[in-house]
Amino acid sequence: MSQAAQVKPISKTAYAPLTLWRRWLRRRQLSSCVQKAYTVFSDRYPVWADELFDEWFLSHHAASLLERYVTGPTPPTAMELAAAWNQQFGGPDKNRKRRIAEMTPVAAEFLHLVEEAFQPPPPT
């Protein structure tokens, strides 16, 4: 039997630790990018930062949305982020649609800042 015939293919599960490591690294990178984006954002839009579009909101209410930059399948949309921002105020509200409409372009700007900082990894 030749040596080539004796070599067994590597199973997909053998790559699992490497995949987990890459995901952990991307999460760390995302966290840093969100912090940098928020620094720029809060300087440009201090009124919105005062309206609870702040670090607490980003690290709690928006965390699962922002995590989609790492886990996919798609990144968050500005409307989803605006809706999450509005949801932190709780309860039924007749001004909900208006607030989300006002926040959506602001959320889009924030996501743009995150995306500028958070580039996809080079292909492997």
Domain span at residue 22 reads 16-117
Mean of pLDDT over the chain = 83
Q: Round to whole Å and give the CA distance between 97 and 83.
A: 9
Q: Round to whole Å and give the CA distance between 111 and 81.
A: 9
**Does a structural domain hold residue 3?**
no
For residue 81, which amino acid is it? L
For 59-81, the pLDDT digits (tens) are: 999 999 999 988 888 999 999 99
Query: Does pLDDT of 123 surpass 70?
Result: no
**Does a structural domain hold residue 95?**
yes
Domain count for the chain: 1
For 2-37, the pLDDT digits (tens) are: 555 565 555 555 556 667 777 777 788 888 899 999
Quick one: pLDDT at residue 42?
95
SS in 3 state form for 55-89?
HHHHHCCCHHHHCHHHHCCCCCCHHHHHHHHHHCC
* pTM of the complete model: 0.75
**Does a structural domain hold residue 5?**
no
**Does a structural domain hold residue 8?**
no
CB 81 within 8 A of CB 58: no
